């Protein structure tokens, strides 16, 4: 079979969407909507650019190379590419994204109904035992996620979005803190924190294998269906994000001192649906987070089993256990720790993703993409140090760099270097 039916394409898009919709997709928009207040439109646009635009572009980039991340990192060399890939999988795996799904699930599904405050360790243990049992059998994920869990998740999220439109608690406040003068930049930066750009690089192979499991083996058809799948997931994200931003904006009167989006959502569903609605939504959001955790464990275990001598199932056990330990740091603390790491590595991966599209037009891609990726990493590391108040740069230089205060100082220098090196490569190609 070389052609998917319309139902298969829809199922593939729903599976893709279901894998992505996890912790970050749920917690960040509501808190941003609440804190950005009357600047919510600018924040939303910025968030969609990095929270949806970049992941879709990354998904297309992976589709073009049939899900092989090594092809994306190839221009920076085998060893550097391997290191970049390992960093990618660790960040979307046990170091942050996987445990984050457990903490969000706990705050939304268990914490509101439990009389004790110290039950996260027990909850995370049960959570990762379930995730482990599913991840041990990756061949069954397409049918269980795409045919059963995806429709449930989509239905629940649509109910939540529609409620946000018709059941409005009140008006939003004025913009707070950094949103007053930097709402757009704050949206862009927080779009990073969904980790979906890195997740696209990891989930690419999962989607490609799902397509192949339906009998599609021809390369161009695989690329086409993977691209369609990514675009369908992107449309779903935009719809859900708009609703979650609106919920956060209108929930200021319910919980003005909220410190994370889980608290905002918890307050809103109790207002809109009461206790019964909170239980229903809690169960479905718990499923949403669990499915993402399962997909991430599968992706990480598959990758590391291919580059080392340990088997797939061994890595499933390792990542499930380690993620359970990390999850017990707590949600708010986990986000604080993750910000410097994400700020440091994201510029490099953005360069690699966009660079993959121009490889066919370059004489020597490594001489263009590798220096640009290195520069992006250097700027990213400095921005990470700046977020910790440890940057070694003098104040005068910081003021001279465009977008420095928004942790985007890497953007203009990298674009300029990429253009200069591309022009030089083109001239050398013309002379050859």
Express each pLDDT in 223-259 by its tens digit. Answer: 888 889 888 989 999 999 999 999 999 998 888 888 8
Q: What is the pLDDT of residue 331?
A: 60
Q: Find which of 136-145, 168-177, 270-279, 349-358 is predicted with most confidence, using mean pLDDT.
A: 349-358
Residue 405: is its pLDDT beyond 60? yes
CA 262 to chain centre: 17
329-372 confidence digits (pLDDT tens): 766 676 777 778 777 888 898 999 999 999 988 888 899 999 99
Comparing CA positions, the residue from 283, 281, 261 lying closest to residue 273 is: 281
Q: What is the pLDDT of residue 131?
A: 92
Residue-range domain boundaries for the chain: 6-328, 332-432
Q: What is the pLDDT of residue 120?
A: 86
Q: What is the pLDDT of residue 23?
A: 65
Burial of 174 (0-12, 13-18, 19+ CB in 10 A): exposed
The pair of structure tokens assigned to 189 is 């930066």
What letter would DSSP give residue 403?
T
E-only strand ranges, 142-246 = none
φ, ψ of residue 227 to 5 degrees: the values are -65, -45
Comparing CA positions, the residue from 18, 19, 22, 48 lying closest to residue 33 is: 48
The pair of structure tokens assigned to 208 is 């490609």
The pair of structure tokens assigned to 118 is 């110290």
31-43 confidence digits (pLDDT tens): 999 999 989 999 9
**d(C-alpha 110, C-alpha 362), whole Å:** 53
Residue 132: is its pLDDT beyond 80? yes
3-state secondary structure 14-71: HHHHHHHCCHHHHHHHHHHHHHHHHHHHHHHHHHHHHHHHHHHHHHHHHHHCCCCHHH
Comparing CA positions, the residue from 378, 382, 406 lying closest to residue 393 is: 382
Residue 142: is its pLDDT beyond 70? no
Burial of 47 (0-12, 13-18, 19+ CB in 10 A): buried
**Prediction pTM value:** 0.84
CATH top class, domain 6-328:
mainly alpha
What is the torsional sign of CA 203, 207, 210, 212? negative
The pair of structure tokens assigned to 327 is 């999850």
């Amino acid at each position: 079979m070389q052609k998917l039916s319309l139902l298969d394409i829809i199922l593939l898009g729903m599976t893709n969407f279901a894998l992505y919709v996890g912790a970050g997709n749920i917690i960040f928009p509501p808190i941003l909507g609440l804190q950005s207040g009357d600047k919510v439109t600018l924040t939303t646009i910025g968030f969609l650019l990095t929270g949806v635009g970049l992941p879709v572009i990354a998904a297309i980039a992976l589709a073009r190379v049939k899900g092989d991340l090594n092809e994306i990192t190839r221009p920076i060399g085998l060893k550097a590419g391997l290191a970049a890939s390992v960093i990618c999988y660790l960040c979307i795996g046990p170091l942050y994204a996987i445990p984050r799904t457990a903490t969000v699930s706990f705050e939304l599904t268990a914490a509101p109904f439990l009389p004790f405050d110290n039950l996260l360790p027990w909850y995370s243990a049960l959570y990762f035992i379930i995730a482990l049992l599913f991840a041990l059998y990756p061949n069954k994920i397409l049918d269980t996620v795409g045919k059963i869990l995806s429709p449930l998740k989509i239905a629940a999220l649509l109910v939540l979005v529609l409620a946000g439109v018709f059941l409005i608690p009140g008006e939003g406040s004025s913009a707070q803190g950094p949103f007053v003068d930097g709402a757009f930049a704050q949206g862009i930066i927080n779009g990073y924190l969904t980790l979906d750009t890195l997740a696209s690089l990891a989930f690419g192979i999962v989607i490609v294998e799902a397509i192949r499991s339906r009998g599609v083996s021809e390369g161009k058809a695989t690329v086409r269906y993977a691209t369609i799948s990514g675009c369908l997931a992107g449309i779903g994200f935009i719809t859900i994000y708009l609703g979650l931003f609106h919920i956060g904006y209108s929930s200021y009167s319910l919980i003005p001192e909220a410190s994370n989006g889980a608290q905002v959502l918890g307050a809103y569903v109790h207002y809109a649906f009461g206790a019964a609605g909170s239980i229903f939504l809690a169960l479905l959001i718990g499923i949403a987070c669990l499915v993402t955790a399962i997909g991430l464990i599968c992706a990480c275990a598959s990758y590391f089993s291919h580059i080392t001598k340990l088997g797939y199932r061994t890595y499933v056990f390792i990542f499930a256990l380690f993620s359970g330990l990390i999850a017990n740091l707590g949600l708010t603390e986990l986000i604080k720790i993750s910000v410097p790491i994400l700020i440091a590595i994201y510029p490099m991966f953005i360069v690699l993703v966009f660079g993959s599209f121009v490889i066919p037009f370059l004489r020597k891609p490594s001489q263009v993409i590798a220096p640009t990726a290195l520069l992006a990493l250097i700027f990213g590391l400095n921005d990470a140090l700046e977020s910790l108040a440890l940057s070694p740069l003098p104040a005068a230089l910081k003021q001279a760099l465009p977008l420095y205060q928004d942790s985007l100082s890497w953007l203009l220098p990298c674009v300029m270097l990429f253009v200069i090196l591309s022009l030089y490569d083109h001239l050398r190609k013309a002379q050859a």
